Amino acid sequence: MKDTNILIVGVGGQGTLLASVLLGKLAMEQGYDVKLSEVHGMAQRGGSVVTHVRMSEGTVTAPVISEGDADIIVAFEMLEAYRWVSYLKPEGKMYVNTQQINPMPVIMGAAEYPADIREYLEKNVGEVTFMDALAIAEELGNVKAVNTVLLGALAKELPFTKEMWLDAIASTVKPRFVELNKAAFERGYTYR
Amino acid sequence: MEKTILLGNEALARGAYEAGVHVVASYPGTPSTEITETAAKFEEMHVEWAPNEKVALEVAIGAGVAGARSLSCMKHVGLNVAADPLFTAAYNGVNGGVVVVVADDFGCHSSQNEQDSRFYARSAGVPMLEPSTSQECKDFMKLAYELSEAYDELVIVRTNTRISHSRGIVELEARSEVLLREYKKDIQKYVSMPAMAKKLHVVQEGRLKRLAEDANTLPINRVEMNSKKMGVITSGIGYQYVKEALPDASVLKLGMAYPLPKKLIAEFAEQVEELYVIEEGEPFFEDQIKAMGLAVKGKELFTIQGEYSANMIKKAILGVDTPHLDAPAAPGRPPLLCAGCPHRAVFYVLHKLKKTVSGDIGCYTLGALAPLSAMDTTLCMGGSITMAHGMEMARGKDFAKNVVAVIGDSTFFHSGITGLINMKYNGATGTVIILDNRITAMTGHQDNPSTGRNAKGETAPAINIEALVRACGVEHIDVCDPFDLKEFTRIVKEATEREELSVIISRRPCALIVKQPEIPYEIGADCKNCGACLQIGCPAIERSGGKMIIAPERCNGCGLCTKVCAFGAIHASKEDK
């Protein structure tokens, strides 16, 4: 595997951290150098959040990805996909959850939620996959599984077997949520 | 050796543990908080939350004088609070090693300024180490204790958001059990009176000179020779950006940010054709290197503001652009008070009453943003009470009737109490609202002196805020759940009208620690679409397709919206989500 830079973006509270923690663990176990960079504090309160994941067979230098250097962006929300798109390499890929969460300026009528995000991404991004991960999670009975659905989709891009992922999930999430998360992962993994 | 992935902050705590640290005292502050939280999990160390950073550092210094290895962790602005003990402890030296971790926050991810804490090392005259990875966080922490004891000096370890809040692979080692050093009374060393201080300053200058000399051969100050065309002096996170952006450049990595290894720098400068300093923040290295008479490029190419990146360095030094899409103009997504947050009710009322609000530091600073828009000033920890007092002293009692100070429970313990005593003593008639949400929320829910638990999660004595306020001489104290909007409004009106100092304790636990039943509310057919419910700024309520809706996955069931709807159109839904 060549060096891989993954940006995970979303809204504070959506569970973007779980994906990066699982990813980091797997990468280390498989012998890669790995660095992850997170957001804590004020921005976590419903703000725009971004997690950087960098893996390498050699050495990872900076823990953060520069604009234009992400191989993959996983967006938990449409507007956040749009906001962070400049971080993607020209040939990079995106996985976008079609959920829309209006930020307060939009709720208050001071700004408009861009209507053409999907169109823009389809036109400008080499390869973009849209998925309604919220609907899938609701089907599985728990809206909090959105993050694992998206993780499943991302997993196909990475050099770890499905068994490795499922083991990592089993050893990270609370026991009563293991089955839910495995099912959510499976749905993301097999998403077309 | 066991390897694991650790947050920089976790690695710092692990380093303290392996170094045999006995005592840790800190006050939470992003991005430093997890160091102390992680340290609290090790049974071998006594770990406590102090009410503020000054208290914390003094506890650590006392432990050091008593012969223990001790640690105090804080964010950059916390070091301002702890600066008083820092500067004099720097004269006194230590006994057991004493280390201060300070975490800067370039980019203002969760802070009110971007101050560069390296200047503290220089003006206090103490060494400062600066790790670049999680592994170095652990290693440098252990080195810091060796240096502290070898040179009889307090040592600062400096990180920033990207070092503290990044995860990387760390090799774990066993803890060294370090025995307490002997405690000996020594008033020449530990009693800071003028006669002693003058002599101690001479001693301190001597050890700083020794440290500066020894820095030239300290292994963490490291030259990595590559092409001699370009040499870069850097440290901390800057090193990582430089290695990525300029892989061919020769690099002098300063593991010790102060004092500088001047011989090593001069030798390095001699070997390279062009010399750069790349450092986030102020030209701290650059100014000192220029003062050595060396030609070096730095801030003429780089800003003092915000965070750097590898591509920013490529652009500035090599003139190379990394191709990428332009960032589209997207509406901002500012952080906001959580669904169910008790502060929302307070600011809703203060907004309605059109009060001038002197604010403070915590989640509740978000009350400044629309639609609540109920904050006029925020300066620093504790500044709400004192600034409101200053407003009254400037404009008089009638003005004070429209002013309230708002301060969180933890912030009140931190540095609000002295302000309140000042108000009473100097005849203020103003109103202070203590937002008692029973936790230190913004930094991730740490316990504080009123929660009844300590840093280890054990039961602890709970300080009674009412009794404390009364002891400050305040006669008018009201306690109210702000979700009782009518009663809370009445109390605020009465307190502000009263020409005597008044304190209102707005008491309701943080919505993230005491969960509602989470039966979401919904908006029924009686809705007149007036938008009044939007005025509370709840993240779950919005207008969609021309009508008001509550998003069930975001509603936490607090019910505040039902109290602002004049038409009774909001009801609890039947289903539990």
Residue B121 has a pLDDT of: 98
Q: Is residue B337 part of a domain?
A: no
Residue B79 has a pLDDT of: 98
Per residue in A57-97, pLDDT (tens digit) is 999 999 999 999 999 999 999 999 999 999 999 999 999 99
Distance from the B288 Cα atom to the nearest Cα atom in chain A, whole angstroms: 26
Q: Which whole number is the average pLDDT over B119-127?
A: 98
Task: Examine the domain organization and report whether B59 and B193 are in the same domain.
Answer: yes
Residue finishing a domain among B188, B216, B244: B216
Annotated binding site of B for [4Fe-4S] cluster: 527, 530, 533, 538, 555, 558, 561, 565
Per residue in B213-257, pLDDT (tens digit) is 999 999 999 999 999 999 999 999 999 999 999 999 999 999 999
* B331 vs A: CB within 8 A: yes
Per residue in B424-435, pLDDT (tens digit) is 999 999 999 999
**Residues 14-43 in A contacting B (C-alpha not used; CB under 8 Å):** 20-21, 24-25, 28, 33-43
Residue B70 has a pLDDT of: 98
Residue finishing a domain among B187, B216, B245: B216
CB B79 within 8 A of CB B154: no
CATH number of the structural domain spanning residue B371: 3.40.50.970
Per residue in B69-111, pLDDT (tens digit) is 999 999 999 999 999 999 999 999 999 999 999 999 999 999 9
CATH number of the structural domain spanning residue B273: 3.40.50.920
Interface residue of A14, A87, A104, A122 to substitute, partner B, most B CBs within 10 Å: A104
Task: Examine the domain organization and report whether B152 and B102 are in the same domain.
Answer: yes
Residue finishing a domain among B182, B216, B250: B216
Q: Is residue B330 part of a domain?
A: no
User: Between residues B553 and B98, which one has the greater pLDDT?
Assistant: B98
Structural domain of B106: 3-216
SS3 sequence of A58-110: CCCCCCCCCCCCEEEEEECCHHHHHHCHHHEEEEEEEEEECCCCCCHHHHCCC
Q: Is residue A109 part of a domain?
A: no
Q: Is residue B437 part of a domain?
A: yes
Q: Is residue A108 part of a domain?
A: no
Residue A19 has a pLDDT of: 83
Q: What is the pTM of this model?
A: 0.96
Task: Examine the domain organization and report whether B459 and B380 are in the same domain.
Answer: yes
Q: Which whole number is the average pLDDT over B379-392?
A: 98
CB A107 within 8 A of CB B542: yes
Report CB contact under 8 Å: B109, A120: no
- Nearest by CB: A63 against B162, B323, B327: B162
Which tokens hold the place of A113?
A: 């939620």
Per residue in B395-408, pLDDT (tens digit) is 999 999 999 999 99
Q: Is residue A106 part of a domain?
A: no
Task: Examine the domain organization and report whether B31 and B166 are in the same domain.
Answer: yes
Contacts of A9 in chain B (CB under 8 A): none
Q: Is residue B334 part of a domain?
A: no
* A90 vs B: CB within 8 A: yes
Contacts of A88 in chain B (CB under 8 A): 324-325
Per residue in B161-171, pLDDT (tens digit) is 999 999 999 99
Q: Is residue A51 part of a domain?
A: yes
Share of chain B above pLDDT 90, in %: 95
Residue A44 has a pLDDT of: 67
Report CB contact under 8 Å: A66, B335: no
Residue A43 has a pLDDT of: 62
Between helices B342-352 and B485-497, what is the axis angle to 10°? 50
CB B387 within 8 A of CB B354: no
Nearest one of B336, B532, B384, B117 to A42, comparing CA atoms: B336
Per residue in B324-345, pLDDT (tens digit) is 999 999 999 998 999 999 999 9
Low-confidence residues of chain A: pLDDT under 50: none
Q: Is residue B331 part of a domain?
A: no
Q: Is residue B577 part of a domain?
A: no
Report CB contact under 8 Å: B333, A61: no
- What lies within 8 Å, CB to CB, of B425 at 6+ separation is B473
Task: Examine the domain organization and report whether B468 and B347 are in the same domain.
Answer: yes
Residue A42 has a pLDDT of: 64
Average pLDDT over chain B, rounded to whole? 96
Residue B511 has a pLDDT of: 93
Phi, psi of A122 (to 5 degrees): -60, -35
Reply yes or no on whether the pLDDT at B576 is more than 60. Answer: no
CB A32 within 8 A of CB B137: no
Task: Examine the domain organization and report whether B289 and B176 are in the same domain.
Answer: no
Share of chain A above pLDDT 90, in %: 80
Q: Is residue A153 part of a domain?
A: yes
Q: Is residue B333 part of a domain?
A: no
Residue A45 has a pLDDT of: 76
Per residue in B493-541, pLDDT (tens digit) is 999 999 999 999 999 999 988 876 678 999 999 999 999 999 999 999 9
Beta strands in B265-402 (DSSP E): 274-278, 356-358
Number of domains in chain B: 4
Strand partners, B47: B24
ipTM: 0.94
**Residues 196-255 in B contacting A (C-alpha not used; CB under 8 Å):** 237, 240-241, 243-244
Residue B577 has a pLDDT of: 40
Task: Examine the domain organization and report whether B566 and B471 are in the same domain.
Answer: no
Number of domains in chain A: 1
Q: Is residue B513 part of a domain?
A: no
* B368 vs A: CB within 8 A: no
CA distance A37 to B532: 40
CATH number of the structural domain spanning residue A155: 3.40.920.10
- Nearest by CB: B310 against A21, A62, A143: A62
Residue A41 has a pLDDT of: 67
Nearest one of B303, B498, B294 to B402, comparing CA atoms: B498
Task: Examine the domain organization and report whether B42 and B167 are in the same domain.
Answer: yes
Nearest one of A73, A76, A3, A72 to A35, comparing CA atoms: A3
Distance from the A71 Cα atom to the nearest Cα atom in chain B, whole angstroms: 12
For A87, nearest residue in chain B (alpha carbons): B324
Contacts of B534 in chain A (CB under 8 A): 107-108
Q: Is residue A175 part of a domain?
A: yes
β B155-160/B227-234 pair status: unpaired
- Nearest by CB: B31 against A12, A40, A108: A40
Contacts of B35 in chain A (CB under 8 A): none
Task: Examine the domain organization and report whether B205 and B246 are in the same domain.
Answer: no
